[in-house]
C-alpha cells in the first residue's frame, strides 16, 4: 500500500474535478461518483434528522474526523443501515468494505499497468493526458484511502463518543463543508478559504494515516482525543490540548526508510533521495518541478500545530504521562525513542567505551573523541574550556596543560563563553571521552544525556556543541526540524511527481 499511499497524497479537490471527465480509461470506475454523491448528500441529513436514538452518534461525529464521518458511508450503498451498525461493530460490513477495497485496488493496478505500457511509446501521449491519468489514479487512491480509514474508523471504541463538546448543528455544518471539499465541482480555490480548522485537520490526518495503514486506528484515536481540545484555542506557548498529538508506533519509528518509490518500491530515508531516484523512471520525473522540493509553507493560513507522543508507556514523552511533554517533530520522536528506549548499539571506534543508539550521535562524538581536549595538569580532560576553567578555579595548584606537539592551543571563538552559560544544561553531554576517562565522569555524562532528552531544544543544541558549532546552535537545531519536515513530506501532496496545475495551487498549499 505504501507506493500507492504516496500517490494518493494528491489533493482532494483536484481529484474530485477529474473524476467527472469521461476518460476512456476511467470507465471501469465511472460508477463510483454517483453512489458517492448520493450517499454523501443523504447521510448527513439523515444524521441530522435522526431522533434521539442516534444522539450519541451525532455527538460523536464532530470528535471524529470528518473524513470518517462522511467517508465511512462511501463504500456502503446502504447508508441508512450504516449508522446503526457503527454503534455495535458488524464484521460483515467490515468484510464488505474490505472486499470492496480489494476490488478497487485491483482496478487501479490495471490502470497503472495500462499507463505503464503506454509509456513505452514515446509519442503516443501528450503530456496533458499523462497528467490527467496520474490525477485519475490519485483520485482513485484517495477514495481507497478514505474508505480504508473509514473502515478502520468504524472500529473505534465508543468511549470517544462521550468526548463530544460541540453542538450537533455545528458539527453537521462542518460535515457539509467537508463534503464539499472532495467532491465539489467548483474551483477548489473558492472552497478552500472557507474551510476552517476542521478541514485542515482532515487533510493532515489523512497524510499521517496513509503510510501506516496498520496503525490507522491508532492514529485516528490520537486525533480524536485531541480534536475536541483543538477547538478550544491555539496558543503559542502550547498549553495542553492546543496542539494535535500524534503517536507513531515503535515499528514505524524504527523503520529504516520512510520514502518509497511508487514504481519499484525501493525505500529511501530522504525524500530528496527518492526524487533523485525517480529520475531513473522516466523523463517526467526529470522536470525541475518534479525535482524541486515539493512543499513549502506559504504561511497564508495558520497550520495546526502538531506534536508527537512517544509510544513507550510510562515515558515522560508519552501522552499518558502526568507531566507529558510533547516532542516537536518526528525526528525528535525518532531520536528520543532510539536514545531512550533502545539499546546503544553503536560503539565509538576510538575510545571503545562510549556507546550510542543514534548513528549521528556516534559520528559527532567520534569527530571529537580524543581531540580538542582541554587538559588540566592533573590529567583530567574536558571537552569545554569553561569546564576546565571551572575545575582550575576550584582546585588549588591545578593549571591548564599545554599540549606538546602543537605549537598553539587551538583557540575557541570567544563568543563561546556567552553561549556557554545560556546552555548550561546542555553542555554536559560534551565531556570528553578520551582513551581513559574517569569512570564517574562518564556515568555522569550518560545521566546527563538522559536528563537532557526531556527538552528537545536543549538536546539538539547539545548535539550542536559536540559539533563544535558554538557560534550558531540556532541554525543547527533548526536543520533537524527542517529535515523532519522533508523526510515525512512523502505524506504531502507535493511528493506526487508532476507539476501541479496553477488552479490547484492553493489546495496543495493547504495540504
Rule CB under 8 A: which residues touch another protein? Answer: 385-386, 389, 392-393, 397-400, 402, 407-409, 411, 414, 416-418
CB of 414 to another protein, least distance (A): 4
CB of 395 to another protein, least distance (A): 10
Give whichever of 400 and 467 is closer to another protein, judged by the CB atom: 400
Give whichever of 392 and 463 is closer to another protein, judged by the CB atom: 392
How far apart (Å, rounded) are the C-alpha atoms in residues 435 and 437? 6
Give whichever of 190 and 413 is closer to another protein, judged by the CB atom: 413
Say if CB 317 and CB 326 are below 8 A apart: yes
CB of 381 to another protein, least distance (A): 14
Q: How far is CA 217 from CA 102, 189, 416, in A?
A: 19, 31, 48
Strand partners, 247: 309
How far apart (Å, rounded) are the C-alpha atoms in residues 144 and 238? 35
Give whichever of 109 and 418 is closer to another protein, judged by the CB atom: 418
In terms of Cβ atoms closer than 10 Å to its own Cβ (0-12, 13-18, 19+), residue 129 is middle
CB of 399 to another protein, least distance (A): 4
How far apart (Å, rounded) are the C-alpha atoms in residues 350 and 434? 8
How far apart (Å, rounded) are the C-alpha atoms in residues 90 and 326? 36
CB of 431 to another protein, least distance (A): 17
Q: Smallest Cα–Cα separation from 326: which of 243, 269, 229, 263? A: 243
Using DSSP's 3-state secondary structure scheme, residue 9 falls into coil
Helix H or strand E segment including 260: strand 259-260
CB of 418 to another protein, least distance (A): 7
Eight-class DSSP state of 259: E
Q: What's the CA angle centered on 211, arms 209 and 215, to 5 degrees?
A: 55
CB of 412 to another protein, least distance (A): 9
Q: CB 310: neighbour CB atoms within 10 A? A: 26
Say if CB 340 and CB 315 are below 8 A apart: yes
Output the nine-digit C-alpha cell for 18. Answer: 477529474
The dihedrals phi and psi of 379, each to the nearest 5 degrees, come to 100, -10
Determine the straight-line distance between the first and last CA of the chain, rounded to whole angstroms: 21
Give whichever of 330 and 432 is closer to another protein, judged by the CB atom: 432
Give whichever of 346 and 374 is closer to another protein, judged by the CB atom: 374
Give whichever of 88 and 405 is closer to another protein, judged by the CB atom: 405
CB of 405 to another protein, least distance (A): 12
CB of 429 to another protein, least distance (A): 20
Give whichever of 24 and 397 is closer to another protein, judged by the CB atom: 397
In terms of Cβ atoms closer than 10 Å to its own Cβ (0-12, 13-18, 19+), residue 414 is exposed
Strand partners, 327: 308
Give whichever of 187 and 400 is closer to another protein, judged by the CB atom: 400
Give whichever of 345 and 399 is closer to another protein, judged by the CB atom: 399
CB of 424 to another protein, least distance (A): 14
Amino acid at each position: 500500500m505504501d507506493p500507492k499511499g504516496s500517490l494518493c497524497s494528491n489533493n482532494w479537490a483536484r481529484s474530485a474535478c477529474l473524476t467527472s471527465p469521461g476518460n476512456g480509461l476511467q470507465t471501469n470506475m465511472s460508477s463510483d461518483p454517483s453512489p458517492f454523491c448520493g450517499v454523501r448528500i443523504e447521510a448527513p441529513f439523515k444524521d441530522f434528522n435522526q431522533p434521539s436514538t442516534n444522539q450519541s452518534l451525532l455527538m460523536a461525529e464532530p470528535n471524529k474526523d470528518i473524513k470518517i464521518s462522511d467517508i465511512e458511508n462511501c463504500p456502503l450503498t446502504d447508508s441508512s443501515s450504516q449508522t446503526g451498525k457503527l454503534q455495535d461493530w458488524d464484521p460483515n460490513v467490515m468484510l464488505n468494505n474490505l472486499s470492496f477495497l480489494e476490488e478497487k485496488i485491483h482496478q487501479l493496478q490495471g490502470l497503472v499497468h495500462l499507463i505503464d505500457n503506454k509509456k513505452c511509446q514515446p509519442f503516443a501521449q501528450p503530456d496533458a493526458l499523462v497528467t490527467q491519468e496520474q490525477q485519475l489514479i490519485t483520485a482513485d487512491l484517495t477514495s481507497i484511502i478514505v474508505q480504508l480509514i473509514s473502515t478502520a474508523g468504524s472500529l473505534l471504541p465508543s468511549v470517544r463518543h462521550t468526548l463530544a463538546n460541540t453542538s450537533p448543528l455545528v458539527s453537521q455544518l462542518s460535515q457539509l463543508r467537508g463534503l464539499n471539499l472532495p467532491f465539489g465541482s467548483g474551483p477548489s480555490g473558492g472552497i478552500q478559504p472557507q474551510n476552517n480548522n476542521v478541514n485542515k485537520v482532515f487533510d493532515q490526518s489523512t497524510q499521517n494515516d496513509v503510510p501506516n495503514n496498520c496503525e490507522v486506528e491508532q492514529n485516528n484515536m490520537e486525533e480524536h482525543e485531541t480534536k475536541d481540545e483543538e477547538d478550544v484555542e491555539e496558543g503559542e506557548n502550547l498549553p495542553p490540548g492546543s496542539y494535535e498529538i500524534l503517536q507513531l508506533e515503535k515499528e514505524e519509528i524504527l523503520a529504516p526508510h520512510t520514502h518509497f518509490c511508487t514504481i519499484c518500491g525501493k525505500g529511501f530515508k530522504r525524500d530528496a533521495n527518492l526524487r533523485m531516484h525517480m529520475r531513473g523512471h522516466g523523463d517526467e520525473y526529470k522536470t525541475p518541478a518534479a525535482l524541486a522540493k515539493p512543499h513549502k509553507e506559504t504561511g497564508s493560513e495558520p497550520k495546526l500545530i502538531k506534536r508527537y507522543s512517544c509510544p513507550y508507556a510510562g515515558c515522560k514523552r508519552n501522552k499518558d504521562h502526568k507531566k507529558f511533554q510533547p516532542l516537536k517533530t518526528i525526528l525528535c520522536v525518532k531520536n528520543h525513542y532510539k536514545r531512550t528506549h533502545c539499546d546503544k548499539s553503536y560503539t565509538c571506534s576510538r575510545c571503545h567505551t562510549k556507546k550510542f543508539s543514534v548513528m549521528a550521535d556516534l559520528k559527532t562524538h567520534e569527530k571529537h573523541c580524543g581531540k580538542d581536549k582541554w587538559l588540566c595538569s592533573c590529567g583530567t580532560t574536558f571537552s569545554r574550556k569553561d569546564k576546565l576553567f571551572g575545575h582550575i578555579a576550584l582546585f588549588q595548584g591545578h593549571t591548564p596543560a599545554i599540549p606538546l606537539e602543537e605549537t598553539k592551543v587551538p583557540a575557541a571563538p570567544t563568543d563561546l563563553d556567552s553561549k556557554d552559560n545560556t546552555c548550561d544544561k546542555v553542555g554536559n553531554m560534551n565531556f570528553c571521552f578520551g582513551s581513559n576517562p574517569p569512570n564517574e565522569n562518564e556515568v555522569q555524562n550518560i545521566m546527563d544525556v538522559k536528563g537532557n532528552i526531556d527538552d528537545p531544544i536543549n538536546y539538539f543544541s547539545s548535539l550542536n556543541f559536540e559539533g563544535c558549532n558554538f557560534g550558531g546552535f540556532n541554525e543547527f537545531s533548526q536543520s533537524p526540524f527542517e529535515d523532519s519536515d522533508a523526510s515525512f513530506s512523502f505524506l504531502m501532496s507535493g511528493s506526487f511527481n508532476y507539476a501541479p496545475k496553477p488552479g490547484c495551487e492553493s489546495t496543495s498549499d493547504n495540504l
